Amino acid sequence: MSNASTLSRPTAVRRLAASAVAGLAFALLAGTFAAPGAAADSGTTANAGGFAFPVDSSADHTVPTPPTITNDEASTEASAVVAEDRRLIEIRATAGSAKKGGTEWKSPFRLATGSGYTLVLTPRTAPYTVDDLLQLAPSTFLLQSDGSYLLLENIYVERGATLQLSRPGGLKLRMASNENGFVSIVTFGGDLIMTGTPDARMTVTSWDPRTAQPMTDPTHGRAYIRAIGGTFTMSYVDVIDLGFWSGRTGGIGLTGTTRPATGSTTGPNVYTGAHGKTAQKIQKLQKPTGPAQSPNSSTLGSNGVTSQPAGPLGTPDSQFSVPGLSYVSTQIDHDTITGNAFGLFLSGATGIVISDTQVTGSLIAGVVLHRFATQAVIQHVDASHNDGDGFIISRAAQQVQITNSTAYYNAGNGFTVNGQPISVGPSASGEPMGAYGNNNVNTSTSQGNGHYGIEVLGGLNIGLNNNTIVGNLMGIVIRRGAQKVTISGNKLTQQDREGISIRDGVQAVTVNNNVIQGAATGVYVRNATADIAGNSISGASIHGVTLVDSDAGSLVNGNTISGIGPGAIDTNREHGKVDTSGNQTSGWFNTTTLWIRIKALIRPLTIVWICLFLLIAFFTIKGHRTRTGKGKRHAMRRAKVALGAHPYADQAPLAMSVITFEKQSNGLVSAVMKPTVGPEAAPVKETVPATKETVAVKEPVVVAESAPKHSNGLLPEQRDLHTSGIGAGSASNGNSSNDDTGSFTRQW
């Protein structure tokens, strides 16, 4: 079908109207997108937003710093996304009703939407090409002097239509963008094919006609490409500086839906019958007099909607035919994508194949597989120097295989695998509660990223095998309740903190045959269950393996651990039972001080056992002393009594002395002390002056042991001596005998 024949149906009046619309479109767009050089003196630069992206080269080892976005800029970009959504809804509604109006609507047509125009490509067998666009939009698809093409209006590809963009020698497509507006290419159930060749690559870029440069500031929106359902093919294409704010407008957005939108099932899109009073008159004239009959299908649309009497259905099932825009299929290979908001964004897609592609300098993230992206094969893809993560497998994305890919120097993670449930309970959208998984990252490289090399957030049946992970904050992090994760055959080098971190409720993780070099801690496990076996851990500076809190059921066995630090395997903070036998730790130099080692042993149960041991030791020693010391002497004494000997024959009594006081003629009193037991000793005589209070005792008296005592506790002689002061060194109260002669004897 020739392009001329497709445009020959309108009448002369409609031709004139179409020409007027084209002229008006050109005038409006010329005002919006001035010709190159028109604003050369305005001072506007291509980098008005201040975004600068590092050059993707092996020599550039810097991690980009994400630009700061103000609240006003965020509001402006979000508003632009809302406006785009509204525009697409209007186009879809108008295009749906246009199909019912007449034959002229089967040809491509233009709609005035928002501040610009949209060229709608209707279904046909042959694909639309660059030559078709030159005829359909001569005022808005312009061939430039350098051989490039400047697109000044939006293009909308309906289901059943195909837009094929290619050109011998390589097509250069420039999509107009500046602060006044931007254009887009959107397929709705249709097919989009963009191809170049190895020797003549295609280029697609945003373009500010006033500065003759790609648009790097996305604040006011920026040109983008989006496929809603249908198929998308891109091969040997260089994509530069597309998209803004959201995934669907992020640059290359490939989206579908798992639930048909209202009106997407087979049936009339627009009611074309009568309205108002006319409809009431028709109803009166057609008032049924018997069983309901099927009206003419043109009354309710062209899809054959009929009516039947109420009652049982002849066929119990009600079948719905969902259009083919529920999922988008993708084939992307040998492409470069630089400076997009999202490098590649896929949601509601299936049958995804991405290979031999480089994604760099993205404002948000590199390659994103969002909700319900399934059956994806990504291989030989490089995501580097992006302001977010390199690769993201989001929740509800399943059966994704990433192999032989690289994530270098991204501001976030190299790879993120998120398998958490979309909902944890009843929700407005009725999402399922189950976890997602069956995703793998194998034989890939993650190096120099600002956060983690690979991060797994929930999910199940995750495989991370034979990867090379170098110089990240952490190497591999598994958390948020992930289950059945295999980490095998990876080489992790020079991580700032942990080589492998497993925590927060993770279960059934297998960590084996990995080589971990130079991390502060080789493997860190907290509140998780993991089998850690057959790994080689070297150069660790804190611990080879650390287990914290409740890790009961974990196994640490058959690992070779070397390094220098407080301990090769740290279980001091572990509350569960962990098998840590069979590890080779001879290469570990323990730097723990003696006091730290002692404190490590001081635990409540340890203290109880130590006290029990000391108690037993004390009574053991005491019993031994009893048998060999005083207890033995008592036993010997009992033996002597049994033989008839006096039991205390071997014990001498204490010495006893008699003190005699005598009054001399010269008035002095002398005291003479003479021992009564033991060897004879010379008496000791001491003379003291006599006083009136001195008591004279005429006869020496020996105080017996059993002498009665006075009520004050003193013997009678002691009482007399006490009252007289003799022997006490001082006088008493003077109540002494008038006898001035005699002597007094006291036991000493």
Q: What Cα–Cα distance (Å) separates residue 588 from each residue in 196, 424, 515, 542, 643?
A: 57, 45, 16, 11, 72
Give the pLDDT of residue 113: 78
Are the C-beta atoms of residues 322 and 334 closer than 8 Å to each other? Answer: no
Give the pLDDT of residue 48: 33
Question: Over 70: is that where the pLDDT of 651 sits?
Answer: no
Are the C-beta atoms of residues 417 and 379 closer than 8 Å to each other? Answer: no
Q: Which of 92, 95, 119 is nearest to 18 (CA)?
A: 119
**194-222: burial string, b at 16+ Cβ within 10 Å, e else:** bbbeeeebbbbbbbbbbbebbbbbbbbbb
Mean pLDDT value of segment 647-662: 64
Q: What Cα–Cα distance (Å) separates residue 557 from each residue in 535, 552, 602?
A: 9, 15, 26
pLDDT single digits (tens) 142-167 = 999 999 999 999 999 999 999 999 99
What is residue 86's three-state secondary structure?
helix
**pLDDT, greater one: 40 or 738:** 738
When mean pLDDT is compared across 12-26, 239-253, 664-678, the lowest value belongs to 12-26
**pLDDT, greater one: 427 or 270:** 427
Give the pLDDT of residue 578: 86
Question: Over 60: is that where the pLDDT of 183 sits?
Answer: yes
Mean pLDDT value of segment 622-633: 64
Please give the structure tokens belonging to residue 248.
Answer: 């669907």
DSSP letters for 649-687:
TT-PPPP-EEEEEEE-TTSEEEEEEEESSSS----EEEE
**pLDDT, greater one: 343 or 599:** 343
For 448, phi then psi, to 5°, come to: 65, 25
Number of residues in the chain = 748
Give the pLDDT of residue 535: 97
Element (H, E) at 486: strand 483-488
Mean pLDDT value of segment 205-224: 94
**pLDDT, greater one: 439 or 7:** 439
Please give the structure tokens belonging to residue 615.
Answer: 């108690």
Confidence band of 667 (pLDDT split at 50, 70, 90): low
CA distance 29 to 46: 20
pLDDT single digits (tens) 46-80 = 333 333 333 344 456 788 887 788 898 899 999 99
Alpha-carbon torsion angle 203, 207, 213, 216, nearest 10: -100
Query: Which among 177-181, 363-367, 620-624 has the top mean pLDDT?
Result: 363-367
Alpha-carbon torsion angle 579, 584, 589, 593, nearest 10: 20
Q: Which of 307, 249, 311 is nearest to 273 (CA)?
A: 307
Confidence band of 345 (pLDDT split at 50, 70, 90): very high
Give the pLDDT of residue 533: 96
Please give the structure tokens belonging to residue 538.
Answer: 């070297």
Query: What is the number of other CB atoms lying within 10 angstroms of the CB of residue 381?
Result: 27
Are the C-beta atoms of residues 559 and 512 closer than 8 Å to each other? Answer: no
Mean pLDDT value of segment 94-114: 72
Are the C-beta atoms of residues 745 and 702 closer than 8 Å to each other? Answer: yes
Instruction: Report the DSSP beta bridge partners of residue 245.
Output: none
Question: Over 90: is that where the pLDDT of 102 sits?
Answer: no
When mean pLDDT is compared across 153-162, 177-186, 356-365, 632-641, the lowest value belongs to 632-641
DSSP letters for 161-211:
-EEEE--TT--EEEEEEETTEE-EEEEEBSEEEEE--SSS-EEEEEEBTTT
Tell me the one-letter amino acid at 188.
Answer: F
| Percentages of the chain per state (helix, strand, coil), in multiples of 5 | 20, 35, 50
Question: Over 70: is that where the pLDDT of 121 sits?
Answer: yes
Instruction: Report the DSSP beta bridge partners of residue 84.
Output: none
**pLDDT, greater one: 485 or 39:** 485
Mean pLDDT value of segment 581-591: 90
**pLDDT, greater one: 286 or 255:** 255
Give the pLDDT of residue 619: 83
**pLDDT, greater one: 565 or 713:** 565
CA distance 594 to 24: 88
Give the pLDDT of residue 480: 93
**pLDDT, greater one: 391 or 298:** 391
Q: What Cα–Cα distance (Å) separates residue 49 from each residue in 85, 205, 248, 303, 410?
A: 24, 17, 21, 50, 21
For 713, phi then psi, to 5°, come to: 90, 0
Give the pLDDT of residue 655: 60
Give the pLDDT of residue 702: 46
Give the pLDDT of residue 491: 97
DSSP single-letter state for residue 363? S
Confidence band of 575 (pLDDT split at 50, 70, 90): confident
Question: Over 80: is that where the pLDDT of 314 sits?
Answer: no
Are the C-beta atoms of residues 500 and 543 closer than 8 Å to each other? Answer: no
**pLDDT, greater one: 429 or 224:** 224
Please give the structure tokens belonging to residue 71.
Answer: 């609240």
pLDDT single digits (tens) 508-541 = 999 999 999 999 999 999 999 999 999 999 999 9
When mean pLDDT is compared across 360-364, 730-734, 742-746, the lowest value belongs to 730-734
For the chain, give the percent of residues with pLDDT over 90: 49
CA distance 725 to 701: 18
Question: Over 60: is that where the pLDDT of 274 sits?
Answer: no
Question: Over 60: is that where the pLDDT of 10 sits?
Answer: no
**pLDDT, greater one: 699 or 201:** 201
Question: Over 50: is that where the pLDDT of 1 sits?
Answer: no
For 18, phi then psi, to 5°, come to: -65, -40
Give the pLDDT of residue 158: 93
Q: Which residues have CB under 8 Å from 671's CB, separation 6+?
A: 659, 660, 661, 685, 686, 687, 688, 726, 727
DSSP single-letter state for residue 717? H
Q: Which of 508, 524, 407, 409 is nearest to 467 (CA)?
A: 407
**pLDDT, greater one: 34 or 469:** 469
**pLDDT, greater one: 334 or 697:** 334
Question: Over 80: is that where the pLDDT of 386 sits?
Answer: yes
Give the pLDDT of residue 627: 60
Residue with tokens 């001569």: 138
Are the C-beta atoms of residues 504 and 527 closer than 8 Å to each other? Answer: yes
Confidence band of 5 (pLDDT split at 50, 70, 90): very low
Confidence band of 203 (pLDDT split at 50, 70, 90): very high
Q: Which residues have CB under 8 Å from 627's CB, separation 6+?
A: none
Mean pLDDT value of segment 286-308: 36
Ranges assigned E (strand) in 262-341: 328-333, 336-338
Q: What Cα–Cα distance (Å) separates residue 20 from each residue in 140, 141, 151, 263?
A: 14, 17, 19, 34
Question: Over 60: is that where the pLDDT of 14 sits?
Answer: no
Query: Which among 264-268, 549-553, 676-680 has the top mean pLDDT?
Result: 549-553
Mean pLDDT value of segment 389-410: 96
CA angle 247/251/254 to nearest 5° reads 60
Question: Over 50: is that where the pLDDT of 418 sits?
Answer: yes
Give the pLDDT of residue 596: 63
Are the C-beta atoms of residues 446 and 414 closer than 8 Å to each other? Answer: yes
Query: Which among 57-66, 113-122, 190-199, 251-260 has the top mean pLDDT?
Result: 190-199
Mean pLDDT (the chain) is 76
CA distance 492 to 301: 64
pLDDT single digits (tens) 447-482 = 999 999 999 999 999 999 999 999 999 999 999 999
Q: Which of 156, 175, 152 is nearest to 110 (CA)?
A: 156
Q: What is Dmax (Cα atoms) for the chain?
A: 176
Are the C-beta atoms of residues 218 and 182 closer than 8 Å to each other? Answer: no
What is residue 235's three-state secondary structure?
strand
Q: In terms of DSSP bridges, do strands 498-503 and 521-526 run parallel, antiparallel, or are they unpaired?
A: parallel
When mean pLDDT is compared across 94-108, 398-412, 555-569, the lowest value belongs to 94-108
Please give the structure tokens belonging to residue 505.
Answer: 């409720």
Mean pLDDT value of segment 352-365: 96
Give the pLDDT of residue 302: 34
CA distance 448 to 78: 32
Alpha-carbon torsion angle 141, 145, 147, 150, nearest 10: -30
